[in-house]
Structure formats: C-alpha cells, structure tokens
Amino acid sequence: MYDQNVYDDEKFFNGYFALRQTKDNYNVLIEQPAMSKLICAVKDKCVLDLGCGFGDNCAQFARMGAKRVVGIDISEKMLSVAKKENSHETVQYVHSRFENIDTLNEKFDLVYSSLAFHYTDEFDVLMKKIYAVMNEGATLLFSQEHPIATATIDGNGHYNYDGDEPVSYTFSHYNKSGKRTVEWFVKGVQKYHRTFAQVINAVAQAGLTVTQVVEPTPDERALSIRPSLRKEFIKPSFLIVKAVKK
Ligand SMILES: C[S@@+](CC[C@H](N)C(=O)[O-])C[C@H]1O[C@@H](n2cnc3c(N)ncnc32)[C@H](O)[C@@H]1O
C-alpha cells in the first residue's frame, strides 16, 4: 500500500504550490493541452478525478456542464486549496486514497487522473477498481510520468549536451519495475516505476479497451515560451492513456 503523503509535507507543498503558480510549467505547456484534446463531452455526466490536487480539473468539468464531479485526494493541504479556489455546487471533494474507490457506491462516465498514478504501487489492482466504478461506455483518461522518466534507480536520468544543445538522455533500470525514491523539493519522494508494457497491459487486463496513447510534445507556442522544452523531442516527460469500457 502506498505509504507516503508527500503533498502534505510543508516544504514540498510550498515548492509544488509555487511551481503550479508559474505560467510556463510543464503542466501548463505540455500535459494539460494534451489532456484537454482527449477529454470527452461531460455535459450531464458523472466524473471522478483521482488525485485531484488543487481541483482545477474538477472545476473545469463543472464548467463543462458535468452533473456531478467527485475529486479524491490523499492530501489535506491540496484539498484545502481545492475547496477554497475551486468549489462548485456539483463538485464534491473527498479526502481519501484513490486506492479506496472500491468503497464508493456509485459509477462514473469519466474517470480522470492527472499525474497521480505514478504514486501508487497497486496499479493493476487500481485499474480493476476503476473498471468496477465505470458505467458501460465510460472513459478512463490518465496521465503519469513517462516510464523513461521514472526508470532510473537512485536519482533521475539526465540529459547530455553538446554545448548548450541537448542531444541525448541517459537512463537505466527500465525493466526493473518498483519503488523509486527521488529528490523533488524534498529528499525521499516515493513513486513507482512501471514499464510501458506493464501500464498498457494493466489497463487492458482490467477489461478496458485502449483507444489512444499519447507521449506529448510541445507545440510552437510552448517552445516560444520555454525553448528548453525542445528536450521533449529527445525524451517525453509524460505518458497519457485513454481507454473505454465497452
Ligand atoms: C502532481 S499532483 C496532480 C494534482 C492534479 N491532478 C493536477 O493535475 O493539478 C498529484 C496529486 O495526487 C495526489 N495523490 C498521490 N497519491 C495519491 C493517492 N494514493 N490517493 C489519492 N491522492 C493521491 C497528491 O496528493 C497530489 O495532489
């Protein structure tokens, strides 16, 4: 069972909060635009957002006309921002691990998760639990850190440069899945590495049909705002998977 709630660590939270306030972060320039293109119509639908964080996506679903939105997060600090900044009459925030969704007594038309699944060690089980809370025809859309980015044990991979120009990326331990401990705002941040095959197989073996896989790259606008994003053409930071329950 996932045993860390690092977003409630004050130093981590402050660092992450400050990062998300910036206008040129990776979420804003790469991950969110790619996810937005894949979101299905949610008008009059029920949406479940796993690891909803500050609740920006929950609020977006509400604005898109969702009948009901449930946002789940393990972090009280993240949820307190969500309740303050992104409350809406159709949005309910639940303080829980998303591994507990089998205790929810309802089903959803869209299960959404942005950059949270690399924190769970129970991905195969989670996929089965997600399948169980999806209506027939429902969509699962999630992003996570890309397996190439999570692979290396004891630290992150690194880019190699020719002068100022990034030319390659070095990583290791790709086929050794399991816990990774990295430094990000604080030491000892735990996440879990799974290979691309393990991610896709877990979705498929839960009974879902994968309809799209995206390894997003920055567009011209993003590159003009943050030229260093050209590194994404060497190694993607994110993996996005869309699947349906037929
Ligand atoms: C990178 S943040 C993303 C937040 C939000 N989805 C977004 O895109 O802005 C990851 C979030 O997942 C939450 N999280 C991580 N593991 C979780 C778990 N097992 N159950 C519930 N929430 C979890 C964290 O507390 C954090 O709010």
Biggest CA-to-CA distance, the chain: 57
Q: Which amino acid is residue 228, in one-letter code?
A: S
By C-alpha distance, which of 137, 131, 61, 134 is closest to 92?
A: 61
154 CA to centre of ligand 1 in angstroms? 22
pLDDT band at 156 (very low <50, low <70, confident <90, very high): confident
∠ at Cα 7 (6, 11), nearest 5°?
85
CA–CA separation, 109 vs 98, rounded Å? 17
Residues 119 and 51 sit within 8 Å (Cβ to Cβ): yes
CATH classification for the domain delimited by 6-244, as one of 3.20.20.70, 3.40.50.720, 3.30.70.270, 3.40.50.150: 3.40.50.150
Instruction: Give the pLDDT score at 195.
Output: 98
Which one is predicted more confidently, 219 or 2? 219
Q: Where do the domains of the chain lie? A: 6-244
What letter does residue 208 receive in the DSSP assignment? P
* Residue 107 pLDDT > 80: yes
pLDDT band at 73 (very low <50, low <70, confident <90, very high): very high
CA distances from 190 to 116, 125, 235 (A): 12, 19, 22
CA–CA separation, 19 vs 130, rounded Å? 30
Rounded average pLDDT over 226-240: 98
* Residue 241 pLDDT > 80: yes
126 CA to centre of ligand 1 in angstroms? 14
Q: How many other C-beta atoms can be found within 10 angstroms of the C-beta atom of residue 53?
A: 24
Mutate to test the pocket of ligand 1, among 75, 190, 191 (most ligand atoms within 8 A of CB): 75
Phi-psi region of 111 (alpha: psi -120 to 50; beta: other; left: phi over 0): beta
Residue range 51-71, pLDDT digits in tens: 999 999 999 999 999 999 999
Instruction: Give the pLDDT score at 154.
Output: 77
Q: Three-state DSSP class for 78?
A: helix
* Residue 2 pLDDT > 90: no
94 CA to centre of ligand 1 in angstroms? 12
* Residue 168 pLDDT > 70: yes
Say whether pTM exceeds 0.75: yes
- In the chain, the percentage of residues whose pLDDT exceeds 70 is 99
CA distances from 118 to 92, 179, 238 (A): 24, 10, 11
* Residue 1 pLDDT > 60: no
82 CA to centre of ligand 1 in angstroms? 12
Dihedral over alpha carbons 46, 48, 54, 56 (to 10 degrees): -40
Compute the residue count for the chain.
246
Instruction: Give the pLDDT score at 148.
Output: 98
- Mean per-residue pLDDT of the chain: 97
CB 78 less than 6 A from any atom of ligand 1: yes
